[in-house]
Amino acid sequence: MDRGAQPLTAAPWVALDAELDAWRAAGRTATLWWRDDDAIEPSPELDRLLALGVGRAPVALAVIPEPTGVDLARRLATAPFARVLQHGWRHRNHRPPGERSAEYAADRPLDVMTAELARGRDKLAELFGARFLPVMVPPWNRIDDAVIATLPGLGLRALSVFGPRTPGPLAMVNTHADPIAWRADRGFVGDARALSDVVDHLAARRAGRVDPDEPTGLLTHHLGHDDALWRFLDALLARTAAHPAARWLDPKDVFA
């Protein structure tokens, strides 16, 4: 099996194996899931992402509804393991300069925001059919509580943001490892940091410090990967596929 570019003996990979071994020793399955954000249309990068997952991990694509269209639907027709989630409406930031970006903060009339989200939901359902799971992924992983409260009425039955989930009014399954250095050079954060985010969440679940039933989520952005990150993803998928205690879940089951 292709184990990726990193040697098996590199410390961060050994730490991943050790954590997965601990899950196995406890008779438990280390559940994982994969969310990739910002898809709009087919691209060589999307092809590369979908090829990486074949036979190893189904991927949930958070698709931006307003600019997407039939081209993406046609591309995904030949990717049976790919699911679609709703990534806001236009991925437009409405916050003032200097504040953290958000499309669905409490700074616009609620009826305007819910009308956008309803259009987005209808469009994705029509384009992607059963492949679309009615799950809201707010751009920049930020959304106001008042908007969350409207989601069930819009037919959006779950939410996915970043960080260990906390009890709330809506079903939630988040992501926990984001291997892009957004505040630095937007390159790959490196094996050590990327793997420690995965291992730390797995260890916290195993110890009961966070919800043990929330699968550990990998967050990627296929349009922004450098070569090192592509190599890391291939290695991570190979390493986890080779370990009996690790299992990548179908997003359909994650949000069932």
Q: Where are the alpha helices (DSSP H) in the chain?
A: 11-25, 44-53, 70-76, 110-128, 145-148, 191-207, 227-241, 251-254
Q: Is 103 in the site for Zn ion (CB under 5 A)?
A: no
In sequence order, what are the beta bridge partners of 247? 31
The torsion angles phi and psi of 36, rounded to 5 degrees, stand at -120, 130
- 37 vs 214, beta carbon nearer Zn ion: 37
Least Å distance between CB 137 and Zn ion?
Answer: 8
SS3 35: strand
Residue with tokens 């509580």: 145
- 119 vs 247, beta carbon nearer Zn ion: 119
List the x/- string, 28-67, binding to Zn ion by CB under 5 A.
Answer: ---------xx-----------------------------
- The β-bridge relationship of strands 216-220 and 82-86 is unpaired
Q: Is 138 in the site for Zn ion (CB under 5 A)?
A: no
Least Å distance between CB 40 and Zn ion?
Answer: 10
Q: Is 88 in the site for Zn ion (CB under 5 A)?
A: no
Least Å distance between CB 103 and Zn ion?
Answer: 9
Q: Which of 65, 120, 138, 139 binds Zn ion (CB under 5 A)?
A: 139
Least Å distance between CB 235 and Zn ion?
Answer: 25
User: What's the CA gap between 9 and 73, in Å, rounded?
Assistant: 42
Residues that bind Zn ion (CB under 5 A): 37-38, 139
